[in-house]
Amino acid sequence: MERSVPDGKYKQLNIQQLIEDKKKTTSFRNSSEKLIPGILFGIAAISVLTTIGILFTLLTETIIFFKEVSIIDFFTGTKLKPLGDDAVFGVLPLLMGTLLSTIIAMLVAIPIGVMTAVFLSEYASDRLRKILKPLLEILAGIPTIVYGFFAFTFVTPLLRSFIPGLEPTNILSPGLVMGIMIIPLVASLSEDAMSSVPNAMREGALALGATKLEVTWKVVVPAAISGIIASFVLGISRAVGETMIVAIASGSSKNFTFDITQSMQTMTAYIVEVTGGEAPAGSTLYYSLYAVAMTLFVFTLVMNLIAQYISRKVREEY
C-alpha cells in the first residue's frame, strides 16, 4: 500500500537539499579562493627566482675571473687578446662595438619608428591602420639570423659600392639592419601610447585654432612621451642584446676604434665566440665569458634606470 507524502514535506526536503548543496559549493569556493593566490604568487616568483639565479651565477663566476685578471685592467684595457700565453683581457673594444652598433640602430629606428607611429595614430584612417600595422609588425617576426645574412650578403655589398673603404665585415651594416628590425617595436609601442591620449585634448586644441600638425607635436606627443621613451628603452635593450646579426655581419676583430667602416665585435658576439669555441672549463678564457656577460647586464640595467628617470621627469599627467 503506497503512502502519500504531503506537498509541503516535498518542498521542505528540497529546500534542505538546496541549503546543503549551497554549503558544499561555498566551502569549495572558499578553498579555491585561498588556494589561487598561493598559486599565482608561485608563478610570479618564478621570474624573480630566475633573475636571482642568473645574477648569482654571473657574480660568482665573475669574482673568480677578477681573482686572475685585474678589474682595472679589464675595464680600462683597449686590447682584447683572449688566446695564447700572453692573453690580454680588456673589455673596451667590446663596449665600443656594442655602443656604436646600438647608436647606429637607434638613429635608424627612432626617427622612422616615431614618424610611423604619428602617421598611424593621427593621420591614417581606421581601415588603413588595420592594414599597415600588422604588415609593419611582420618585420618583428623575421628570425634575426635572416637579418644577419641580409646584412652580410646584401647591405654590406650595397654600402661598399658607395663607401669604397668599407670592410667586408663592419659595424655599420649590422647597425643599420638592427635599426630596421627595431622599427616595429618603437612604432607599435609609440602608436599605442599616442592612441591612449584622450580625444578631448585633441578636440580642445583644435577648437582653439591649432592645426593638425600642431596638435600632434604640441599636444599628443608630449602627453604620450612616457610611453614613447619606454619604446626607446626597449629598442636600446633589444639592440644591445642582439646577437646573430652582429655575429654574422660585424666580424670578430676586437678593434678599439670609432671607425664604423672597420670590423668590430660586440659583447654578445664575443659570448657566442667563446661558447662556440673550445674554451676549457675553469680557464681564464672561460671565466671571461661571465665577466663580459655581467658587464652587459650592468650596462643594460644602467640604461634602463636612466631612461626611467627621464621618463618620470618628462611625464605629463592627464
Q: 165: part of which helix (H) or strand (E)? A: none
Residue 74 counted as domain residue = no
Let me know whether 96 and 54 are in one domain: no
Let me know whether 135 and 37 are in one domain: no
The maximal CA–CA distance of the chain, rounded, in angstroms, is 112
Residue 84 counted as domain residue = no
Residue 303 counted as domain residue = yes
pLDDT of residue 288: 86
Let me know whether 195 and 302 are in one domain: yes
The conformation of residue 139, written as its DSSP 8-state character, comes to: G
Hey, what amino acid is at 237? S
Residue 124 counted as domain residue = yes
Q: Report how far residue 24's alpha carbon sits from residue 276's, in angstroms, rounded to the nearest whole number.
A: 60
Let me know whether 22 and 133 are in one domain: no
Q: Report how far residue 284's alpha carbon sits from residue 93's, in angstroms, rounded to the nearest whole number.
A: 18
Let me know whether 61 and 123 are in one domain: no
Rg of the chain on CA atoms, in Å: 29
pLDDT of residue 115: 92
Let me know whether 148 and 254 are in one domain: yes
List the beta bridge partners of residue 81. Answer: 88
* Residue that terminates a domain, selected from 15, 33, 68: 68
pLDDT by residue, tens only, the chain of 318 residues: 444 545 554 445 466 666 666 655 666 566 666 777 778 888 888 888 888 888 888 888 888 888 888 888 888 888 888 777 777 888 888 888 899 999 999 999 999 999 998 888 888 888 888 888 888 878 778 888 899 889 888 989 998 888 888 888 889 999 999 999 999 889 888 888 888 888 888 888 888 887 888 888 888 888 888 888 888 888 888 888 888 888 888 887 888 888 888 888 888 888 888 877 666 777 788 888 888 888 888 888 887 787 777 767 666 555
DSSP secondary structure string for all residues of 166-188: --SS-SHHHHHHHHHHHHHHHHH
Residue 11 counted as domain residue = yes
Looking up residue 96, the CATH number of its domain turns out to be 1.10.3720.10
Total domains in the chain come to: 2
Residue with cell 502519500: 4
Cell of 70: 685585474
Q: Report how far residue 212's alpha carbon sits from residue 218's, in angstroms, rounded to the nearest whole number.
A: 10
pLDDT of residue 165: 81
Let me know whether 240 and 295 are in one domain: yes
Let me know whether 103 and 60 are in one domain: no
Let me know whether 61 and 164 are in one domain: no
pLDDT of residue 272: 85
pLDDT of residue 191: 87
Residue 86 counted as domain residue = no
Let me know whether 103 and 244 are in one domain: yes
Let me know whether 148 and 263 are in one domain: yes
Query: Containing domain of residue 154, as a range?
Result: 92-314
* Residue that terminates a domain, selected from 68, 84, 119: 68
Let me know whether 158 and 229 are in one domain: yes
- Nearest to 140, CA basis, from 188, 180, 108, 184: 184
- Nearest to 170, CA basis, from 161, 157, 183: 157
pLDDT of residue 111: 92
